[in-house]
Amino acid sequence: MKKRSLYSYQEEKKYRRRLHVVLVCIAVFFVVYVSFTSFLFSMRVVMSDSMQPDVHAKDRFIFSSYELYTPELQRGDIVLIDMGSEDKRDIFMKFLDGFIRFWTFQRSSMSERENFLYLKRVLALPGDEVSMTNFVARVKKKDSPYWITEFESSERRYEVIIPQSPALWDRSLPFSGSIDPFVLGEDEYFLLSDDRSNTNDSRTWGPAPLKRIKGAALFRYWPVTRIGKP
């Protein structure tokens, strides 16, 4: 009798109702998750070692998204910069991209090309004066008469890798480690890799406008041995 009741019409209705509730909850969770990760936050895998020694390839971070709100950047922040197309995606394409990133574990995107996405550190802000000697940046903050090193100007502690340049290396070349003083314009940011060897950053691109910066690293969630704020 008990076994037959499992296949009764009433029991089947209850089962379908529970299944319907579960499926609706899963759908709502998925829509909320994709919306948050498309417009407010994003989860990304670091694809290069240009930010060593603090950040390594395969590290995973939660980034803020500057699609809806752009907070004030700070010197020392690690940001995601997009040097590809400046075309704006509509809401549907953003949502669809979030869907694809979810099912590919953040490794694929239908609109973002990973070879144009870079992780860099903010060294100087609009109005600052910047120079570089032996791969270490010096900053004269806006409205300040004093030069200080990048480490003194940043509220975050970090280390850099200083390469050994050949003795006759031309200091005018982008990767020579030397930059003559210049002042950042309005809405311009000076970004560098922590590994100062041959990697693309503001030494080759020049100062980056804010519209190129897609978000800031908020939290590293993998590997567990280095979990926490970057």
pLDDT tens track, the chain, 230 positions: 445 555 576 777 777 888 888 888 887 777 776 666 666 788 788 888 999 999 999 999 989 877 666 778 999 999 999 887 555 555 556 666 666 666 665 556 555 555 578 999 999 999 999 999 989 999 999 989 999 999 999 989 999 999 887 666 666 666 678 899 999 999 999 999 999 987 789 998 899 999 899 889 999 999 999 999 88
Domains plus CATH for the chain? 40-226 (2.10.109.10)
pLDDT value, residue 114: 55
- Give the model's pLDDT for residue 167: 63
Rounded Cα distance between 64 and 70, Å, is: 9
Residue 59 is predicted with a pLDDT of: 94
pLDDT at res. 88: 55
Model pLDDT, residue 166 = 64
Pair of tokens at residue 150 = 């990048």
Q: How far is CA 5 from the centre of its chain?
A: 56
* Closest residue by Cα to residue 216 from 132, 140, 119, 126: 119
For residue 82, the model assigns a pLDDT of: 87
Q: Which two tokens stand for residue 108?
A: 């694929």
Say what the pLDDT of residue 40 is.
Answer: 74
Round to the nearest angstrom and report the end-to-end CA distance of the chain.
Answer: 62
Reduce the DSSP state of residue 229 to 3 states and report it. coil
Neighbours of 8 (CB within 10 A): 10
Instruction: Report the C-alpha gap between 212 and 210 in whole angstroms.
Output: 5
- pLDDT at residue 158, rounded to an integer: 95
pLDDT for 1 equals 45
CA of 109: how far to CAs of 101, 213, 222, in Å?
Answer: 6, 18, 20
The closest of 168, 182, 172, 169 to 204, measured between CA atoms, is: 172
